[in-house]
Structures are given as structure tokens and as C-alpha cells.
Amino acid sequence: MLRRAAVLQRGPLAVGDIAFGRPKQFTQDEVQRFLALAQDENYLHGANPHAPAILPGALTAALISGVMGTDLPGPGSLYLSQDYKFRKPAYTSDTLTACVEVTALSKGRRVIKMKTSVMNAFGEVVVDGEAMGINKAPELWGETRSGAGDAA
């Protein structure tokens, strides 16, 4: 079953739920700001101003965090762990899209296991892996918030 479990569709999480982030092409300025924040001075990330720069792996993978915190599982989600495999370089000229798919759920612990990836515009996977996250929002687990909407 393929469905978008996002802000548009709030309901219980299910194995197979999938969400795609918005396509993103990083600018050289965004890369430079990230490098400054990360204290990364690797010349491969922009030595030649006339050629696309190789994106830092952590910046590319950060698109996954955006999907997790915005769409699936959604607001209130926190990372517990993330495994990455960098399959091929991504460049400032690439348009990238992250994807998150629920692969297992632990209702008692409120833990979500997810398959994660970032693809370029040709559908080639540049990063993939597995993430574990937690989200305690009752509606994601088929429950209602107690007291929600009650009059005082």
C-alpha cells in the first residue's frame, strides 16, 4: 500500500506509509553556510567556482530529517538513530528528493523504524539507509488526545 502519511492525512501510522520531501537543489551559498556551521574545510565542496560542487554528505542526508519532522512521522518526531550509505556523489547542480518509508512499528515504545533515501532527478539513489525515530503523538498510534476539545 502506497499512501502519503503527512500533514494532509493524520491517522494511525502503518507499515508501508511513505512520504517524499519537496525537491531541493542546494545553492553554492547554502553549501558554504553549511560548511561554516560544520567547520568543514574540505576543498571538494567548492574549490572550483565554475563547476558544480560535491555536496557534503551530511547536508544531503539532512533532507531526510526534513521529511521525518514535517511529513512522516511528522511534527514531534525525534531521531533515535540513522544509518547512512552514500551510494554516489550529489552535486549543487542536482535536484534531490528525500523519501521515508515506515518498515516497522513499536506501539508500546512509540518507536518507528524507517527506510530512508535521497534520490536525484534521474531516480538514482545517492544516499540510503535506515532510521529509528520516536513520536508520542496519540493520533499517530490510533488514539485520541485526552481532554482535547473539552470545555472548561
Per-residue model confidence (pLDDT) at position 2? 35
> Which band of pLDDT confidence, cut at 50, 70 and 90, is reported for residue 149?
very low
pLDDT tens digits, 28-74: 888 888 888 988 777 667 666 676 788 999 999 999 999 999 999 98
Name the nearest CA neighbour of 95 among 66, 55, 134, 132. 55
Q: Could you tell me whether strands 97-106 and 111-119 are parallel, antiparallel, or unpaired per DSSP bridges? A: antiparallel
Whether the per-residue pLDDT at 150 is higher than 90: the answer is no
